[in-house]
Structure 1
Amino acid sequence: MTEVHTLQVKSGKTTNSLTFKNDVLSLGKRIDVPSRNILDVTLKTSSPESTNVHVEIRALIPSKNNKLRLYCPSYEVVEPTSATPWVEFVKNVAYKKAKPCKRLMVFINPFGGTGKAKRIFDRDVKPIFDAAGCTYDIIVTAHKDDAKEKITEAPELEKYDVIVA
Structure 2
Amino acid sequence: MKIGIKFNRLTYREYIYILDRHQKYTDFNPLALYRSIIENDKLDLDQKIAIRDLANQHFSKFFEFLQIKDRYTYMKVSTLGETLTAGEEDRFWKSIHENQEKILKAKRIKHRNFGINSKGGTITYDLKEVYVMVRPGYNYPGKRSRAWEYPYHLAAKKRAARANKADIENQLIDLADL
With the shorter chain as reference, the TM-score category is under 0.3
Normalising by structure 2, report the TM-score: 0.26
- The structure with the greater share of residues assigned to strand is 1
Normalising by structure 1, report the TM-score: 0.27
Indicate the structure whose relative CO is greater, using CA pairs within 8 Å and at least 6 residues apart.
Answer: 1
- The structure with the greater share of residues assigned to helix is 2
Larger radius of gyration: 2
